[in-house]
């Protein structure tokens, strides 16, 4: 393995230099080819004095540094933390060496760039006088984050391992020798450490791709249906409950992965992606190869088939008609972006998500327990949840609308424009409340917890006011995280109230 160790301390005789030497010795002992670069020995202008760093004459030491980074497979930076981040010498070195055309390449889309140093891994050995725990919890590791994500990660160097040594100033000789041994062992065990780091990084990326933050509402709606079946006289089966939810979880995961794959062109154009819109970004950032998504979908279909087989095995109350209807519901979910349906590209995506995350999931919970579709309660209790879900889905398309329009995705924000989409979202906020009032008057929603409709109304009023303020600003295409938080938490009322009401009723019944 080719390892480049860069010491970024401006003084030649420093503890950082000793750490760099120890790391290099360990890597060499393990068979790596190691080269060293002492920034204190280099001669170059630290400052970028032209509009582009490429316009500045390239000193021989800068050119040599680029050649060494190109040669390396693993790049190690050893430096102290001063004022929360790296010394000026190392910052200037990065400004001059990692330039466009060498470390990265810009494209016509400002949100998309090519990472030209991919295929390399990185490592940071950082000394500090701040206690490392304080640096992590109080200061949020600004220097580590800048190097690992905004600098090396931006250029394609990943994963980047990080080791922190400190506080150095009060450390005695024994502690300093222990840190040197640690650095030496790190160099010697580099291949194993990288394999583990890559496995962890890949696992984190797949978990990120799942977008687990949106699954709790599915569980809530499904459980409403299951509890409604039990309160209606059905014998509650815990085994069928968990098998049914496993099927729902797998269908949702498959849907999310298909969305990531199909929406790739839109996601990479998206300049306003955030935690609630624009996908997980794992394909756009290169954390996962795009071609792996279809394989992941295929692999998830295997446990889904087993779960469905177990769900319908005797003495299950489910029959062939139930299978057809539940399969149609699953097809409706994955059809959000799956060809040939691609409902989100035909102006039907919001309606699809609203249905599959309210009435359809509640019915699934009910049918799994009973095999029946004719009880009006799960249909009716899902109606307010349907209307409450739509505002969040409609609003999530506003930051994405420019990118979606560019690839022909016809969300309501694209078809109506952000302003009309916001008005439509406001209308559904009010329809959700109206549905609760009407169903309470009809005697469908009788539990005591439904008196919380007044709290729901206050939340709805706050959301409508926030939407009105957004419209007063001209409904700009931008991140609307505040509106998204208000709209997503608004949904919770229409899920948690019937869930808790049914649960309390079942407890009272026993």
Query: Options 3.40.630.10, 3.30.56.10, 3.30.950.10, 3.40.50.360; which CATH number does 2-205 get?
Result: 3.40.50.360
Q: For residue 246, what pLDDT is reported?
A: 97
| Of residues 338, 502, 470, the one with CA closest to residue 394 | 470
> pTM (2 decimals)?
0.85
pLDDT digits (tens, 9 = 90+) for 163-211: 999 999 999 999 999 999 999 999 999 999 999 999 999 999 999 999 9
pLDDT digits (tens, 9 = 90+) for 451-489: 899 999 999 999 999 999 999 999 999 999 999 999 999
Q: For residue 111, what pLDDT is reported?
A: 62
Q: For residue 217, what pLDDT is reported?
A: 94
What residues pair up with 121 in beta bridges, in sequence order? 74
Q: For residue 285, what pLDDT is reported?
A: 82
- DSSP output for 169-182: TT--HHHHHHHHHH
Helix (H, G, I), strand (E, B) or coil at 421: helix
- Whether residue 505 has pLDDT greater than 90: no
Q: For residue 510, what pLDDT is reported?
A: 52
Q: How confident is the model at residue 447 (pLDDT cuts 50, 70, 90)?
A: confident
Of 196-205, 391-400, 501-510, the least confident:
501-510
Structure tokens, 28? 């060499």
Q: For residue 509, what pLDDT is reported?
A: 62
Helix (H) / strand (E) element for 150: namely none
**426 near 464, Cβ under 8 Å?**
yes
**218 near 364, Cβ under 8 Å?**
no
Which residues are CB-neighbours of 245 under 8 A, at least 6 positions away?
Answer: 219, 222
Beta strands at 121-127 and 160-165: parallel, antiparallel or unpaired? parallel
- Whether residue 132 has pLDDT greater than 70: yes
| Of residues 423, 401, 422, the one with CA closest to residue 411 | 401
pLDDT digits (tens, 9 = 90+) for 48-74: 999 999 999 999 999 999 999 999 999
Q: From CA 62, how far away is CA 302, in angstroms rounded? A: 53
**Number of C-alpha atoms within 13 angstroms, CB side, residue 113?**
19
What residues pair up with 38 in beta bridges, in sequence order? 7
Helix (H, G, I), strand (E, B) or coil at 510: coil
**487 near 425, Cβ under 8 Å?**
yes
Q: Report the first-to-last Cα separation within the chain, whole angstroms.
A: 67
Average pLDDT of the residues in 256-260: 96
Average pLDDT of the residues in 370-383: 93
pLDDT digits (tens, 9 = 90+) for 309-368: 999 998 889 999 999 999 999 999 999 999 999 999 999 999 999 999 999 999 999 999
Residue spans per domain, the chain:
2-205, 217-509
Structure tokens, 355? 């249905």
CA dist 374 → 229, 273, 328, 378, 498 (Å) = 12, 42, 17, 9, 19
Q: For residue 110, what pLDDT is reported?
A: 63
**192 near 142, Cβ under 8 Å?**
no
Q: From CA 364, how far away is CA 311, in angstroms rounded? A: 12
Identify whether 315 is preceded by a cis peptide bond (ω within 30 of 0): yes
Structure tokens, 357? 């995350």
**Percentage of the chain with pLDDT > 70?**
99
| DSSP symbol at 53 | G
Q: From CA 358, how far away is CA 80, in angstroms rounded? A: 54
């Amino acid at each position: 393995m080719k390892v480049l160790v860069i010491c970024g301390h401006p003084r030649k005789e420093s503890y950082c230099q000793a750490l760099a030497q120890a790391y290099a010795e360990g890597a060499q002992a393990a068979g790596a080819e190691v080269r060293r670069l002492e920034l204190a020995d280099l001669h170059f202008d630290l400052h970028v004095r032209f509009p582009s760093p490429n316009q500045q004459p390239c000193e021989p030491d800068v050119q040599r540094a680029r050649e060494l980074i190109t040669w390396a497979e693993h790049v190690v930076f050893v430096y102290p933390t001063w004022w929360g981040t790296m010394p000026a010498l190392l910052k200037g070195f990065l400004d001059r060496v990692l330039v466009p055309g060498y470390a990265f390449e810009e494209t016509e889309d400002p949100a998309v760039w090519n990472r030209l140093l991919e295929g390399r891994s990185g490592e940071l050995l950082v000394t500090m006088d701040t206690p490392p725990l304080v640096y992590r919890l109080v200061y949020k590791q600004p220097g580590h984050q800048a190097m690992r994500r905004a600098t090396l990660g931006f250029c394609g160097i990943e994963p980047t391992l990080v080791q922190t040594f400190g506080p150095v100033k009060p450390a005695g000789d024994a502690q300093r020798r222990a840190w040197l041994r640690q650095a030496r062992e790190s160099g010697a065990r580099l291949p194993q450490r990288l394999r583990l780091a890559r496995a962890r990084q890949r696992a984190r990326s797949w978990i990120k791709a799942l977008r687990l933050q949106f699954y709790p509402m599915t569980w809530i709606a499904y459980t409403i249906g299951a509890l409604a079946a039990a309160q209606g006289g059905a014998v509650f089966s815990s085994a069928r409950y968990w098998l049914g939810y496993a099927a729902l979880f797998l269908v949702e995961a498959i849907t999310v992965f298909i969305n990531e794959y199909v929406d790739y062109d839109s996601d990479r154009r998206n300049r306003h992606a955030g935690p609630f819109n624009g996908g997980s970004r794992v394909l756009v950032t290169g954390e996962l190869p795009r071609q792996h998504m279809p394989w992941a979908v295929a692999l998830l279909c295997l446990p889904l088939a087993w779960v469905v087989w177990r769900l319908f095995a005797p003495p299950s109350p489910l029959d062939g008609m139930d299978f057809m209807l539940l399969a149609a519901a699953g097809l409706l979910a994955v059809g959000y972006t799956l060809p040939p349906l691609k409902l989100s590209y035909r102006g039907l995506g919001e309606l699809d998500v609203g249905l599959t995350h309210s009435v359809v999931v509640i019915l699934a919970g009910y049918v799994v327990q009973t095999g029946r579709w004719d009880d009006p309660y799960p249909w009716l209790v899902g109606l307010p949840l349907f209307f409450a879900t739509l505002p969040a889905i409609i609003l999530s398309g506003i930051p994405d609308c420019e990118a979606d329009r560019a690839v022909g995705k016809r969300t309501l924000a694209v078809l109506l424009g952000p302003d009309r989409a916001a008005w439509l979202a406001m209308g559904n906020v009010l329809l959700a409340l109206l549905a609760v009032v009407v169903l309470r008057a009809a005697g469908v929603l009788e539990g005591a917890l439904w008196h919380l409709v007044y709290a729901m109304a206050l939340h709805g009023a706050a959301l409508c006011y926030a939407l009105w303020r957004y419209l007063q600003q001209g409904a700009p295409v931008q991140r609307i995280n505040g509106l998204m938080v208000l709209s997503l938490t608004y949904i919770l009322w229409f899920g948690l109230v019937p869930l808790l009401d049914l649960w309390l009723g079942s407890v009272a019944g026993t």
